[in-house]
Amino acid sequence: MTPEKLKRLRAAGWHAGTPKEFLKMTDEEAALVEIKLALTDAVRQTRIKRKLSQTDLALRIKSSQSRVAKIEAGDASVSLDLIVRALFAVGATKQEVQRTFASKMLAAA
């Protein structure tokens, strides 16, 4: 959100906060959500970079295209285990997965 829009909303009586505040999440819960979102974004970006379709990825992880779509959308029903398996299945290295974790851990600190 731009600073100008935030100023206009506050002037109109609105309160702007973070998703963490709105959902009343602990620091740990917020960090987990950030990590999962970073990993799901990495799955999508790596899949596209490697010119794989969602169906191609689904075959690699022995799942369905709709499940891959849920992974990439950050659906809460998707386990962290499946997200990481999908990331490896699209060709991400251990170092790339570690960098994704590390970047979010540093940002959350």
Block means of pLDDT (10 residues each) for the chain, length 109 residues?
86 83 86 90 95 97 97 94 96 90 66
First to last CA, the chain: 22
State the pTM of this model: 0.77
pLDDT at 30: 87
pLDDT at 15: 81
Residue 26 contacts residue 37 (beta carbons within 8 Å): no
Q: Which residue has the tokens 């690699």?
A: 60
Domain CATH number, residue 31: 1.10.260.40
Residue 9, in any domain of the structure: no
Give residues with Cβ within 8 angstroms of 7, minimum separation 6: none
* CB burial of residue 47 (10 Å; 0-12, 13-18, 19+): buried
- Per the structure, the complete domain to which residue 102 belongs is given by 27-108
pLDDT at 109: 55
Residue 42, in any domain of the structure: yes
pLDDT at 88: 96
Residue 11, in any domain of the structure: no
Number of domain units in the chain = 1
